[in-house]
Structure 1
Amino acid sequence: MDLDGGNRRVFNRLGGSSAAAPDSSKNQKVCYHWRAGKCSRFPCPFLHRELPHPSGPAAATANGSGAPKRFADDSGFSGPALRRGPNFNNNHNNSWGRMGANKVVRKTEKVCNYWVQGNCNYGDKCRFLHSWSLGECFTLLNHLDGHQKVVTGIALPAGMDKLYTGSKDETVRAWDTNTGLCMGVINLGGEVGCMISEGPWLFVGIPNVVKAWNTQTNQELSLSGPVGQVYTMVVGNDLLFAGTQDGTILAWKFNAVTNNFEPAASLKGHTLAVVSLVVGANRLYSGSMDHSIKAWSLETLQCLQTLTEHTNVVMSLLCWEQFLLSCSLDQTIKVWVATESGNLEVTYSHKEEHGLLNLRGMPDSESKPVLMCSCNDNSVRLYDLPSFSEKGKIFAKQEIRAIEVGPGGLFFTGDGTGFRVWKWAEAVPKP
């Protein structure tokens, strides 16, 4: 099947450059009209950019060493542990949402229905968007379709030139990353609830079972034990964890002697389905339809704390630096940090107009941390961290249930029409 832009090479490497030093010749105040997107003064006596964090350049690094902040992937933290360190202070907390009112929006945030159908007569004068995104910092490379229902998982196994997508249409598709062609379809006989990769292994969660494929040897395994749909999976401390419909978190450990995954533990405590998992700071965090988040010790697999500040389903979890981020259908993103006692507390809560479905993080082309959060209004919001300044938006015809980060500044969004390949724009050097 030759898909849209079939011969386009999607895995292009991306470079970046650091931001220039602040212009000391101007009034050190950000232009109010520029923030609103309508400054007409030239030259303007105020800054047309945001001021750096008061703590200086070290605030933009993971540990003050000059290295850019990084996000943890599903395998764990990339930064310090989730606890107050010797350099922790309230100023760091207060930086959350400090510039949240800064918007990149320039026109009506609605995609033109006539443009989608190919017959809008207004062209550039149309007050609605003729684009699937809003923002100049990233571009759409390709749209690959083929699934009949919403894409619920995207995975890129290590060392492979293939990308895999799973869908509620009960199939997994393999895509050639060089040509964009669909290389094969696997019919599973059940809706794909989630999909992840770890090393050469591809794990797919469907009702009552986890399917495992070794993409190098083609070995196929079925991990039994789940009751109902498998909604989420994560790997940590050499264990594969799966959150299931009955509220249980199951764990398997790979046995090199038998070349199989063997049951290792069953974590119980949630009263409804577990729909989100993440590992960080030697802990497993789980989000559930029962509105709670639980923190588990990876060493003892015992529950350490239950967080109940959300008022609806906790759809996604993300570890960034010493913080845990959670999003919910209650329309909030909460930022958690550990107290002196080790317990987590909310240090910032960001409000959206719609319920939130998924969180992913990655650095942009200037190595600055960006949070991507999909909402149930068929969009993805992109925010700078920790300010929550709006960086852009992505739109779709249906809910975007899957977001995955790729190499070289690539990222992927999956909805009911297939999945799209995006790339951060090259950073423009400043004079």
Structure 2
Amino acid sequence: MATKALRRPANRPERSAYSRPVGGPSKSVCIYWAAGRCTKESCRFLHPGAPESSMNLHISKQKALVWTREETSTGKGNAYNAPQKNNAAQKGNAYNAHQKSIAAQKGNATQKSNPGPTSNATQTSNAIQKSQVCKYWVDGNCVKGDRCLYLHKWFSGKGFSMLAKLQGHKKAVTGIALPERSNKLYSADKDGAARVWDCYNGQCDRVVNLSDEAGCLVSEGPWIFIGVPNLVKAWNIESNAEFNLDGPAGQVHAIVVGKEMLFAGAQDGVIYVWKGCPQTNSFVPAATLKGHTGPVVCLIVGANRLYSGSVDHTIRVWDLDTLQCVMTLKGHSGVVMSLICWDKFLLSCSLDCTIKVWAATERGSLEVTYTHSEEHGVLDLAGMTDPETKPILLCSCNDNSVRLLELPSFSERGRLFAKREIRRIGVGPGGLFFSGDATGLVSVWKWMEPYNKVESS
């Protein structure tokens, strides 16, 4: 029996259901198109308008998050810039995208393909980046190694080094002092403990329970003075004599000694004064200096004057002979955190992100002659000289670092870094200096002798 050949109409085109034009015979909306994932070039179901692909939106967000995460690991995350990066990032290759970002920061596309002299702008940018410690390295989890744009060490600059890290305090360090003719370093913290460290082995020899939070610790001769709420603890390290000096109201934030008198700035805005009594080797109340309308947080003595800085944004100048306020300086717009005297000048720092230099005028008043600005609030100041006798200002900023600035130019010599803000800076003999941060860590630093001086000796 003959088999009939199957015939098709000559005018009927060859096509499958997948090659039918959009909006074909079916009047139903494509459910895959509605979900944003129809992959057919010519679907037989309706695609009524431009697809609003939720899947594409999700992918876009995902790439932005990946890019931001990579950028954050270098301390430069910016979600706004993430979708605007190169094609490698848009295709989801975070590693290549990050590599392109690094190359872009080092120079333009031409410099990447044909390396040449680095521009001044690029050098400045790299210098700024390398003056910041990698926060991921600080936490022990930076995975970039040599590719990281930030420092993997606790300081930047030359001419000094870290000698030791003294661990033991549980809260922020509020005072550090190395008394004269002593081989013991003293420190105190907000946890109410004072520690005595051996300068030879770095071990803690003794822990003194202060029974309350320490606001400050200073040394003068054989004496250690510690400010706590409502009193000052006085401790003679040679005779082991101890005294509690009552009188202050609230926390004692600052202590200084000058002209055989002890001054303590307290929470109530009053400066309490004691005079030394040689007969009893103790101290007797002498006066109370009133004028500040906020807590007194810093004190310094220089040129027969006492200078006090307060939360009320002012600096008051007191005559040490009469114990009277002779002028009030109103130059800061924030809390005056620290004061030092250098040469004929008074230097003050504040949470308003400035360091001000005050100088005497012909009329006898003090006026600001220079203002140095920092990006962050300034917490503490200390002064010393380097091995070449150049004056150096140690400036603790509210970004977990200390700037080492040359005076009078304020040019930066280096930086010290910490996990948290450095609340106190201390200075010792022989080029030693100290920093205490909010984690309770005390770091010991030292200026190194110049190479040519070592060679000549």
User: Please, what TM-score do these two structures have when normalized by structure 1?
Assistant: 0.74
| Partner deviation per Cα, 1:344-372 (whole Å, 9 max, x = no partner) | 00000111111111010111121101111
1:395 aligns with 2:417: yes
Does the CA contact (< 8 Å) of 1:103 and 1:389 recur in 2? no
Match of 1:289 in 2: 311
Give 3-state SS (helix, strand or coil) of 2:299's partner.
Answer: strand
Q: Contact conserved, 1:103 with 1:390, CA < 8 A, in 2?
A: no
Q: Distance in 1 between matches of 2:259 and 2:128?
A: 46
Contact 1:104 1:391 in 2 (8 A): no
Counterpart in the other structure of 2:61? none
User: Within 5 A, what are the aligned runs for 1:108-257?
Assistant: 108-257=130-279
Q: 1:273 aligns with which of 295, 298, 302?
A: 295
Q: In structure 2, what is the Cα distance between the partners aligned to 1:212 and 1:132?
A: 34
Structure 2 SS opposite 1:294: strand
State the 1:136 CA deviation.
1.4
CA gap 1:113/1:337 in 2 versus in 1, 3 angstroms: closer
1:382 to 404, 409, 420: 404
- 1:255-308 Cα shifts (integer Å, max 9, x gaps): 122332100111000011010100011100000000000110000001110001
| Kept after mapping to 2: 8 A contact 1:246/1:272 | yes
Does residue 361 of structure 1 match 2:392? no
- Which residue does 1:53 correspond to in 2? none
SS at the partner of 2:146?
helix
- Aligned partner letter, 2:406: D
Letter of the 2:321 partner, please give it.
E
Specify the code of the residue in structure 2 equivalent to 1:419.
V
How much does 1:114 deviate?
A: 3.6
Q: Which amino acid aligns with 2:399?
A: D
Provide the alpha-carbon RMSD of the alignment. Answer: 1.9
1:40 deviates by 6.2
Mark the structure with the bigger radius of gyration: 2
Does 2:363 correspond to 1:341?
A: yes
Shift of 1:400: 0.5
**8 Å CA contact retained: 2:177, 2:428:** no
Letter in structure 1 aligned against 2:278: A
User: Residues 269, 423 of structure 1: CA spacing in aligned structure 2 closer, same or farther, 3 A cutoff?
Assistant: same
Identity of aligned residues (%): 60
The separation in 1 between residues aligned to 2:445 and 2:334, in whole angstroms, is 31
1:129-186 alpha-carbon deviations (Å, 9 max, x no partner): 1011111121111111100001010011222111100000110000000110100111
CA deviation after TM superposition for structure 1 residue 392, in Å: 0.8
Whole-angstrom CA distance in 2 between matches of 1:326 and 1:164:
25
Tell me which residue corresponds to 1:419: 442
Query: For residues 126 and 415 of structure 1, what CA distance do their matches in structure 2 show?
Result: 25
Distance 1:416 1:409 in 2: 24
1:221-267 residue CA offsets vs partner (Å, 9 max, x unmatched): 00000000000011011000000000000110111223321001110
Q: Are 1:156 and 1:164, in contact at CA under 8 Å, matched by a contact in 2?
A: yes
Mapped contact 1:105–1:392 kept (Cα < 8 A): no
**C-alpha distance 415-178 of structure 1, shift in aligned 2 (>3 A):** same
Partner of 2:326: 304
Distance 1:106 1:229 in 2: 39
Distance in structure 2 (CA, Å) of the matches to 1:104 and 1:419: 30
CA distance in 2, matches of 1:229, 1:291: 19
Determine the C-alpha separation between the residues in 2 that align with 1:249 and 1:103: 46
Q: Deviations over 1:303-341 (max 9, x none)?
A: 110001111110000100000000000111000000111
Task: Number of aligned residue pairs: give it.
Answer: 333
Deviations 1:102-151 (A, max 9, x none): 99936344322342344444333321210111111211111111000010
Q: Which amino acid aligns with 1:206?
A: V
Question: TM-score when scaled to structure 2?
Answer: 0.70
Query: Does the CA contact (< 8 Å) of 1:240 and 1:251 recur in 2?
Result: yes
Specify which structure has the bigger relative contact order, considering alpha-carbon pairs within 8 angstroms and separated by 6 or more residues.
1
Which SS does the other structure have where 2:127 is aligned?
coil
Counterpart-to-counterpart distance in 2, 1:399 and 1:178? 27
Q: In the superposition, relative to structure 1, how do residues 404 and 104 fare at CA in structure 2: closer, same or farther (>3 Å)?
A: farther
Gaps of 5+ in 2: 1-115, 119-123
Q: Secondary structure at the match of 1:426?
A: coil
CA contact (8 A) 1:105 1:134 kept: no
Moved over 4 A (4+): none
Counterpart Cα distance in 2 of 1:259 and 1:387: 44
**2:313–2:333 CA contact under 8 A, matched in 1:** yes
Is the Cα contact below 8 Å between 1:104 and 1:392 reproduced in 2?
no
Higher helix share: 2
Summarize the alignment of residues 10-159 of structure 1 with structure 2, pairs less than 5 Å apart.
Answer: 105=127, 107-159=129-181
Q: Which residue of 1 aligns with 2:428?
A: 406
Native 8 Å contact 1:365 1:424 kept in 2: yes
* 1:309–1:373 distance in 2 versus 1, CA, 3 Å: same
* 1: CA distance, partners of 2:127 / 2:270: 42
Q: Aligned equivalents of 1:309 and 1:394: distance in 2?
A: 28
| Partner residue, 1:77 | none
Q: For the residues of structure 2 that align with 1:331 and 1:294, how far apart are their CA atoms?
A: 20
Does the residue aligned with 1:115 lie in a helix, a strand or coil?
A: helix
2:374 aligned residue = 352
Alpha-carbon distance, 1:428 to partner: 2.8
User: Unmatched 5+ residue regions in structure 1?
Assistant: 1-38, 42-101
Which amino acid in 1 is paired with 2:344?
A: Q
